[in-house]
Amino acid sequence: MSKDQLTNTIRRLRFDAGQMTQQALAEKVGVTRQTIIAIEQGKYCPSLMLAIRIARAFGRQVEEVFQLDTPPQ
Protein backbone atom coordinates (compact mmCIF):
# COMPACT_ATOMS: atom_id res chain seq x y z
CA MET A 1 0.00 0.00 0.00
CA SER A 2 1.26 3.46 -0.90
CA LYS A 3 2.36 5.65 2.00
CA ASP A 4 2.82 8.74 -0.13
CA GLN A 5 1.38 11.88 1.37
CA LEU A 6 -0.07 14.77 -0.57
CA THR A 7 1.01 18.12 0.80
CA ASN A 8 0.08 21.54 -0.50
CA THR A 9 1.00 25.20 -0.33
CA ILE A 10 -2.52 26.59 -0.56
CA ARG A 11 -2.25 28.52 2.71
CA ARG A 12 0.94 30.29 1.63
CA LEU A 13 -0.43 30.95 -1.86
CA ARG A 14 -3.58 32.46 -0.36
CA PHE A 15 -1.53 34.91 1.66
CA ASP A 16 0.66 35.68 -1.35
CA ALA A 17 -2.51 36.42 -3.31
CA GLY A 18 -3.39 39.40 -1.12
CA GLN A 19 -4.65 37.58 1.97
CA MET A 20 -7.28 35.69 0.00
CA THR A 21 -9.79 34.15 2.41
CA GLN A 22 -10.74 30.48 2.39
CA GLN A 23 -14.28 31.51 1.52
CA ALA A 24 -13.10 33.53 -1.49
CA LEU A 25 -11.02 30.63 -2.77
CA ALA A 26 -13.90 28.21 -2.17
CA GLU A 27 -16.25 30.40 -4.20
CA LYS A 28 -13.67 30.74 -6.95
CA VAL A 29 -13.25 26.97 -7.38
CA GLY A 30 -16.87 26.05 -6.63
CA VAL A 31 -16.62 24.13 -3.35
CA THR A 32 -17.45 24.82 0.29
CA ARG A 33 -15.11 26.53 2.75
CA GLN A 34 -14.99 23.27 4.75
CA THR A 35 -13.54 21.49 1.72
CA ILE A 36 -10.77 24.08 1.36
CA ILE A 37 -9.98 23.73 5.09
CA ALA A 38 -9.88 19.92 4.80
CA ILE A 39 -7.55 20.14 1.77
CA GLU A 40 -5.26 22.67 3.49
CA GLN A 41 -4.99 20.43 6.54
CA GLY A 42 -4.27 17.40 4.36
CA LYS A 43 -7.40 15.59 5.54
CA TYR A 44 -8.86 15.32 2.06
CA CYS A 45 -7.14 14.64 -1.26
CA PRO A 46 -8.87 16.64 -4.00
CA SER A 47 -9.73 15.17 -7.38
CA LEU A 48 -7.51 16.05 -10.31
CA MET A 49 -10.15 18.43 -11.62
CA LEU A 50 -10.40 20.33 -8.34
CA ALA A 51 -6.61 20.40 -7.99
CA ILE A 52 -6.34 21.98 -11.44
CA ARG A 53 -9.07 24.49 -10.60
CA ILE A 54 -7.26 25.48 -7.38
CA ALA A 55 -3.95 25.83 -9.23
CA ARG A 56 -5.63 27.98 -11.88
CA ALA A 57 -7.16 30.19 -9.18
CA PHE A 58 -3.60 31.10 -8.17
CA GLY A 59 -2.29 31.16 -11.74
CA ARG A 60 0.14 28.30 -10.97
CA GLN A 61 0.92 24.79 -12.16
CA VAL A 62 -0.61 21.91 -10.21
CA GLU A 63 2.86 20.75 -9.10
CA GLU A 64 3.52 24.14 -7.54
CA VAL A 65 0.41 23.82 -5.39
CA PHE A 66 0.42 20.09 -4.61
CA GLN A 67 3.44 17.93 -3.84
CA LEU A 68 3.66 14.21 -3.33
CA ASP A 69 5.92 13.43 -0.37
CA THR A 70 7.33 9.92 -0.48
CA PRO A 71 8.70 8.74 2.88
CA PRO A 72 12.17 7.15 2.75
CA GLN A 73 12.05 3.34 2.45
Catalog residues that contact other proteins under the rule CB under 8 A.
Answer: 30-38, 41, 43-44, 46-47, 50
d(CA 34, CA 43): 11
d(CA 10, CA 7): 9
- Report the residue number, 13 or 26, with the smaller CB distance to other proteins: 26
Q: Cβ of 44: how many Cβ atoms within 10 Å?
A: 14
- Report the residue number, 49 or 73, with the smaller CB distance to other proteins: 49
Residue 10 Cβ, how far from other proteins at the closest point, in Å? 14
- Report the residue number, 37 or 62, with the smaller CB distance to other proteins: 37
